[in-house]
Amino acid sequence: METIIAHVREGNLQEVRLWLDDIGNDVNQGDEHRFSLLHWAAREGKLPVVDLLVMRGARLNATNMGDDTALHLAASHGHIDVVHFLLNCHRFNVDMPNEHGNTPLHYACFWNHLEISEYLIKNGACLMQENKYGETPLEIARPRAATLLAPLAEALGHDLSHRRPFRDTSWIGTKTRARDATLYKLDGESWDPRDVELTGALADGHGAEVLKGSFRRCPVVVKMLKLRNCTVRQARDFKEEFPRLRIFNHPNILPVLAIFTATPRLCLVSDYMQYGSLFDVLHQRVDTVTDGNVGAVEVSQRQAMRFAVDIAKAMEFLHSPELKVPNFRLNSKHVMVDEDIAKVGIFDPELMGREATSDMQALRDEYLIARLDMADYKFSFHEKAREYNPAWMSPE
Q: What does the DSSP 8-state code read for residue 265? A: S
Neighbours of 283 (CB within 10 A): 11
List residues bridging with 311 in a β-sheet: none
What is the SS3 assignment for 136?
coil
pLDDT value, residue 347: 40
pLDDT tens-digit map of 32-77: 888 999 999 999 999 999 999 998 888 888 899 999 999 999 999 9
Q: What does the DSSP 8-state code read for residue 188? A: T
Say how many residues make up the chain. Answer: 396
How far is the C-alpha of 141 from the C-alpha of 227, rounded, in Å? 66
Map out the domains of the chain with their CATH numbers. 2-176 (1.25.40.20), 186-392 (3.30.200.20)
What is the SS3 assignment for 202?
strand
Report the percentage of the chain scoring pLDDT > 90.
49
Q: What does the DSSP 8-state code read for residue 156? A: T
**Closest to 212 measured CA to CA, from 226, 198, 225, 224:** 198
**Is the distance from CB of 336 to CB of 254 less than 8 angstroms?**
yes
Q: What does the DSSP 8-state code read for residue 178? A: P
pLDDT at 264 over 80: no
pTM (two decimals): 0.73
**Is the distance from CB of 149 to CB of 117 less than 8 angstroms?**
yes
**Is the distance from CB of 388 to CB of 329 less than 8 angstroms?**
no
Range with lowest mean pLDDT among 53-62, 141-150, 238-247, 352-361: 352-361
Q: Report which residue type is found at 353.
A: G
How far is the C-alpha of 8 from the C-alpha of 103, rounded, in Å? 25
What is the SS3 assignment for 344?
coil
Phi then psi dihedrals of residue 218, to 5 deg: -105, 130
pLDDT tens-digit map of 296-334: 677 889 999 999 999 999 999 988 877 766 688 888 999
**Is the distance from CB of 253 to CB of 371 less than 8 angstroms?**
yes
